[in-house]
Chain A
Amino acid sequence: MTKLNARTLSKEEHFYGHKACGGCGESLALRLALKVLGKEAYLSLPAGCMAAVSFIYPNMAFRNNAMITPFAATASVATGIEAGLKALGKKNPLSVGFAGDGGTADIGIQALSGALDRNRKFIYICTDNEAYMNTGIQRSGLTPFGAATTTTPAGRAIRGNLGRKKNLFEIVAAHGIPYAATASIGYPEDFLAKVQKAKETEGPSYIQVYCPCPTGWGYPPEITVDLAKEAVDTGLWFLGEFEEGIFWLNRKPRAFASLREHLARQGRFRHLQEEDLAALERERDHIWESKFNLWPLAK
């Protein structure tokens, strides 16, 4: 298999003419993934930015077969499509769900769990921008500690989100599915390789891709990819895989890039005080020492 990169990646576009914001990380993740998945992929997208910007009658932005699903139903519609195609005699149907963090970690988690449990071939890609962006930046189960959202504002008494980002990757892996991964649009080659791997996987697979959002996070649109890369380099996000029952790490930063500088570039963290930043650094260090450093580095 040729290594997927800027040179080898298909020039074909499957997702264009949509109305996403400039600098949108999620739409970049979809665009890249579809170049790997190809036109034969049947797409399910629930309520969320990507559905809202691409199915506005009469302008359809997907070249693929694509469908807006009920909010909670990305995974169930996707498995229904796969079953339907299979029943009609199609060989190796490729059904792919794309949902945001809220659509996956909150309202869609039951359907996702059920679909993984059915153990049928489909790909679920969670485009994680850490809040409900389409409805106006409300907190989701994947919003990180400290982030200001419209439902966890930087108030005088409470400074942003008090909850922790749900560990969805390991929740998914606990289903014992053949393949799960985390990725970031800041490391596109890693992401593309993981989409390719998911495509080739027999049975269900899951990829959670980190997608910064200029509108929701409060930063200029031209630094989206930068921030996505930085999040990995600072150790706040990670590139990992779950395969054959083992957790792997794809990248171990020798030294973390500055978490404080990274957060200072985002409006959603601007209110954080010294004690909050120190807490975030402590938590980051703890999770690497107690977990990620124990995971083997993938070949």
Chain B
Amino acid sequence: MNSYAFLNGNEAAAWGVRLCRPQVVAAYPITPQTKAVEKIAQFVQDGDLLCEYLHVESEHSAMSCSIGASSVGARTFTATSSQGLLYMAECLPYASGARLPIVMMNANRAIATPWNIYGDQMDMPYVLNSGWIQLFAENAQEALDLIIQSFRLGEDEKILAPVMVNLDGFVLTHTYEKVHIPSQEEVDAFLPAPKPRKHMMNDESPMSMCISAGNQHNLEFKIRQHRDLLPAEELFEGIDKEYEKAFGRGYGGALEGYRTEDAEHLLLATGSVCGTLRHMVDLLREERHSVGLVKMRMLRPFPVKRLGALCSGAKTLGVLDKNLSFGYEGTVFTNVNSALHQEGIPLRSYNFIGGLGGRDITRQDVRSMVRVLEESDKTTEKIHYLNVRCAL
């Protein structure tokens, strides 16, 4: 089939998973990820997806089962969110250190306490250092496409890294859109069955995995893991181009610049809020504001040079973080500033913290962001909070 359907982000991701023919899926429910693992379970129970579906008792075991399955070469998928991501966090570097190309959907959600099930991206920074490739989807269609791209990327023998596909909780996971579902044949052609990897457990030449390496060797292991992750940025762009050729949809690889060429002021964000920002850039352009959007699809590896090139002509940059690193600033902001510094881009940057706990980011908020950027001569405050309801 090659058709259109009315799907929410979770279901679109589940369709992406189905088309990738995973051999093992380990799943534990957590709001707002549940619809994704329910949909996959339905595919399995209906016989539409042939795979070992493991009903695990926790996220820790969801990741551990995935590690076991992937360590023998099975294509493996799991999904989580928020507290569940934190609960499995210990296992994530086992997957990346052992070079296991597991793909995981993470429904970005607030972190307790105060307890909250709605969407923000407070969960993601906790695992930014885990050695996983970090990708973000803007809409349900991109979620489906990104799952397919992720298996290609992670399983590439030059990379061999696990991939986390981030979907904003509710705004993306629970919002319905018209989604194009590619045919199985097309996806099979784009994503062949997984090949046996050099480093995996197997009958012919047994392996020890997740070994220990003391102070004589440990540093070299870590450096190699780091260096091997870096080319994933360029490879991702290539995969995205190939995907566009095959399916008619491309996203620009690690990041997309929208009306950035002649923009004096840039807004930068990850995930679903890019839809709002894109709309506002169009609106503000009509009102003769010189604005553009940088949509970051990839935070690890971090696309330093591409970001520098996109920002080189701008005067100011506003980074919208749906997270806050207590005692400092938004984590995307920290990462972006480091990249700009490395690339010698002298623009003024500001941090906008918004959307926490599912708080709306309104058109008015975007206007206020642009105002800060346009009046940057008068602005000394680096961090601005969006849509704050009372004086703090």
Contacts and interface: CB of A to CB of B under 8 A. Distances in A.
Interface of A: 39-40, 42, 44, 51-52, 54-58, 60, 62-70, 72-73, 75-88, 90, 95, 110-111, 113-115, 117-118
A80 B200 CA distance: 14
Interface string B35-57: 00000000000000001101111
Interface string B243-274: 00000000000000000000000000000000
Contacts of A82: 68
Contact of B64 (A54, A56, A73, A90): A73
A73 B57 CA distance: 11
Give the interface centre of B51, B65, B66 by most chain A CB atoms within 10 Å: B65
B64 A118 contact: no
Interface residues of B, number: 41
B210 A68 contact: yes
A77 B70 CA distance: 10
A80 B65 contact: yes
Contacts of A66: 206-209
Which interface residue of B23, B58, B211 has the most chain A CB atoms within 10 A? B211
13 contacts: A40-B203, A67-B71, A73-B64, A76-B56, A84-B52, A85-B72, A87-B52, A88-B72, A110-B61, A111-B58, A113-B57, A118-B54, A118-B56
Contact of B24 (A68, A87, A114): A87
B288 interface: no
B64 A88 contact: no
B371 to A, nearest CB: 48
Interface string B91-113: 10010001000000000000000
A57 B68 contact: no
A71 to B, nearest CB: 8
Nearest to A62: B208
Contacts of B207: 65-66
Contacts of B90: 70, 72
Given A62-B208, A67-B209, A70-B94, A114 B74 contact: no
Nearest to B201: A65
Contacts of B91: 70, 73
Contact of B212 (A40, A57, A117): A57
A295 B96 CA distance: 49
B67 interface: yes
Contacts of A87: 23-24, 51-52, 69, 74
Contact of A80 (B24, B210, B211, B213): B24
Contact of B61 (A55, A60, A86, A111): A111
A77 B64 CA distance: 5
A84 B70 contact: yes
User: Of residues B55, B76, B98, B206, which shows the largest number of chain A Cβ atoms within 10 Å of its Cβ?
Assistant: B206
B60 A70 contact: yes
